[in-house]
Amino acid sequence: MMDLSLVQLAWAGVLCWLGLGLAALLVQRLRGLLNLIFPLGAIVALGLAAIGAMALLGHASAIVLPIGLPDLPFHLRLDELSAFFLILLGGAAFGVTLYAWGYFRHQESGSLALLLLWYHLFLAGMTTVLLADDAYAFMVAWEVMALSSYFLVTTDHDQPDIRRAGFLYLLIAHVGAVALLLCFGVLQGGGVEGAGDYTFDTMRLAEMTPFWASVAFLLALFGFGAKAGLVPMHVWLPEAHPAAPSPVSALMSGVMLKTAIYGLLRVTFDLLNVQLGWWGALALALGLVTALYGVIFAAVQSDMKRLLAWSSIENIGVLLAGFGLTLIFYTDGKGALAALSLTAMLYHALNHAFFKGLLFTGAGAVLHATGERNMDKLGGLMRVMPWTAWLTLIGALAIAGLPPLNGFVSEWLLLQAFLLTPGLNQSYLNMVIPVAAASVALAAALAAYVMVKFFGVTFLGVARSGAVAKAHEAGWRERLGMIWLAAGCVALGLFPAQVIAALAPVVRLLTGQTLVNDGSWFLLAPVDAERASYAPLVFFAVVLVTLLLVFIWVRRVYHGRIRRADPWDCGYPEQDARMQDSAEGFGQPIRQIFSSFMRVERETPDPFDRHPRYRGDSRDKLWVLLYQPIADVAAWLSDKAGRLQHGRIQWYLIYSFATLIFLLVFVTR
């Protein structure tokens, strides 16, 4: 046992997943065995998380696998950065897979077997992305991840909308992959003369000029940004996430987007040995735009999963802003501050994996129970599905950034990092960054608004349609998965000092410094206990005590004086479920304030209409401004190119002939 290195164990986990996926195809006639595959996959996920945790403490280990093309073996390496993301992947995948076990219980065998294959291939692909130590293995794993998730997104491919969403996803994934390929090409091209391999080791040794380093960085930002959902490459996200089955959305949003963040960190801090300050400023600006754009659109959605998808865009924006800030500090020589913002960013990545996984699974449970994604047709589900509602509430509170849950810790750390920028040597950045901090705060506040809407409209109030009446509580397997994710949210919120200590090796690897925690085990004080500190356990205790007191007070004192009388209904003699605030109505103020960001299509009924119908649709303006022109140009060019197609073989031969003659003339020059 001892002679197996951790990276070999991790690779064994990948092989287990691959084996499970293939086994699913073999045993598709045996339903009993087929149902066992999800729990086995979940155990593998937990094992990988454990391997990641061990690797975080130990040293990096590497192996070379003799697979792939001749002379191009796969290089795998498990260092601290990979280990951290491996924990993230394993931890979130464990909960989501348990959930999926229940969620797909009634799926028809044939399609379930295929789904199991793609699901495990997807997990294996993501893990290999994290382990890859050469560009070739990385790209292969990256494409496996993209393709398998494409097939997962299009699970219900009989619906045209879903096929369209899948196509959009695949298209943008490939444009991004091309950028990554070019990026690795640039990194390798700057490498040592004669070293013809594509290992990351060769790239690390490369001495790059600032120009080529910038080219590599921009390509990486574009390529990974396309996968992460960075504005303006975010358009696939709000389409693909609602189209995918909920456990898949949970994995895509919680884990797959993080692999892009991983790649960005890997390329920028590990593979490139030059970093420039303006990259950080660019990433920061893009991140803030993404965060605000995402949260504003999240606020006006009525579709649960679309809302969550936009919220993922917002979180990716926050992560990217943290990344940009880290770069700014790092290039400015402020190692301790870089460590602080990197810690905040990694922490937030981990948090997002858990709470977004939880929210997507919660939304999936509602969708499964009611068959309805439109929040305007839901409501009052808390009474029917109390487990789902309470667990989703934990996720909603966490993502809204309320203490003592995990979302608060990372956002607080990030804001701390922002507030410390006056120490920078660049005066213009000093002046601009408070605005950035304000934007992050605005995004956080709007995220809370979005969550009030999501939770309030879906679970509180009374039912808005018959779909709710036949709703049922999620099964125990689903609940188990959600409980795991919720427990993660709570634990990450209550023990930040321990989490930060665990993150220290990763941060040291990338920035050369670690975050010094001034506080004791229960107190979080990243910079200076005098300046700012946070004790989640104390806070939690105070919250609990206050709640308890209020509860007792209401029960004993208030309810004791209750009077039941026929009310005069405040002028509403007939109360109707439609009088509640709707999702549409809740988002209205945001739509009004930020109307310039979106293209609103509205059909308002005539005042004298007997059967008034109202339709409002807020579209992404970037579709019209950016994607439509590109699509038009592409269509125009293909139309022109289509004229080459005559259907006459002679003409086609003439094309080849002319090309041949042209090339021959060219050669003789």
Which residues are at the interface with other proteins (CB under 8 A)? 642, 645-650, 653-654, 656-657, 660-661, 664, 667-668
Q: How far is the CB of 637 from other proteins (least distance, A)?
A: 16
Q: How far is the CB of 635 from other proteins (least distance, A)?
A: 13
Nearest 5°: the CA angle 611, 616, 621 is: 160
Residue 192 or 635 with smaller CB distance to other proteins: 635
Of the candidates 297, 246, 287, 615, which has an alpha carbon nearest to the alpha carbon of residue 449? 297
Q: How far is the CB of 640 from other proteins (least distance, A)?
A: 13
- The alpha carbon of residue 204 and the mean position of all alpha carbons in its chain are separated, in whole angstroms, by 28
Residue 546 or 659 with smaller CB distance to other proteins: 659
The Cα-based distances of 638 to 190, 651, 659 in angstroms read 36, 19, 20
The Cα-based distances of 170 to 163, 226, 263, 365, 451 in angstroms read 10, 11, 19, 27, 29
Residue 557 or 649 with smaller CB distance to other proteins: 649
Residue 568 or 666 with smaller CB distance to other proteins: 666
Cis before 404? omega within 30: yes
Cross-strand pairs, 134: 199
Q: Are strands 598-603 and 615-620 parallel, antiparallel or unpaired?
A: antiparallel
What's the DSSP call for residue 271?
Answer: I
Q: Are 24 and 110 in contact (CB under 8 A)?
A: no
Of the candidates 234, 253, 249, which has an alpha carbon nearest to the alpha carbon of residue 353? 253
Q: How far is the CB of 644 from other proteins (least distance, A)?
A: 10
Residue 542 or 654 with smaller CB distance to other proteins: 654
Residue 565 or 667 with smaller CB distance to other proteins: 667
Q: How far is the CB of 32 from other proteins (least distance, A)?
A: 49
Helix (H, G, I), strand (E, B) or coil at 562: coil
Distance CA 631, CA 660 (A): 32
Q: How far is the CB of 129 from other proteins (least distance, A)?
A: 39
Q: Which amino acid is at 656?
A: S
Q: How far is the CB of 79 from other proteins (least distance, A)?
A: 46
Phi, psi of 196 (to 5 degrees): -85, 5
* Cβ-based burial of 62 (10 A; exposed 0-12, middle 13-18, buried ≥19): middle
Q: How far is the CB of 653 from other proteins (least distance, A)?
A: 5
Q: How far is the CB of 647 from other proteins (least distance, A)?
A: 3
The Cα-based distances of 39 to 31, 254, 257, 514 in angstroms read 14, 19, 24, 37
Cross-strand pairs, 615: 603
Q: How far is the CB of 44 from other proteins (least distance, A)?
A: 46
Nearest 5°: the CA angle 233, 119, 373 is: 60
Q: How far is the CB of 662 from other proteins (least distance, A)?
A: 12
Q: How far is the CB of 643 from other proteins (least distance, A)?
A: 9
Q: How far is the CB of 658 from other proteins (least distance, A)?
A: 10
- The alpha carbon of residue 63 and the mean position of all alpha carbons in its chain are separated, in whole angstroms, by 29
Handedness of CA 138, 141, 147, 152 (dihedral sign): negative
Distance CA 607, CA 612 (A): 8
Contacts (Cβ under 8 Å, ≥6 apart) of 175: 226, 233
For residue 660, give the H/E element and its range.
helix 649-668
Residue 571 or 647 with smaller CB distance to other proteins: 647
Distance CA 584, CA 578 (A): 12
For residue 63, give the H/E element and its range.
strand 61-69
Helix (H, G, I), strand (E, B) or coil at 563: coil
Residue 609 or 639 with smaller CB distance to other proteins: 639
Residue 427 or 650 with smaller CB distance to other proteins: 650
Of the candidates 309, 159, 138, 171, which has an alpha carbon nearest to the alpha carbon of residue 239? 309
Distance CA 124, CA 251 (A): 12
Residue 65 or 660 with smaller CB distance to other proteins: 660
Residue 427 or 656 with smaller CB distance to other proteins: 656
Q: How far is the CB of 639 from other proteins (least distance, A)?
A: 10
In 279-361, which ranges are E strands?
A: none
Query: Which alpha helices (DSSP H) does 495-559 contain, by range?
Result: 496-511, 536-553
Residue 592 or 645 with smaller CB distance to other proteins: 645
Handedness of CA 194, 199, 204, 207 (dihedral sign): positive
Residue 158 or 639 with smaller CB distance to other proteins: 639
Residue 560 or 647 with smaller CB distance to other proteins: 647
Q: How far is the CB of 143 from other proteins (least distance, A)?
A: 29
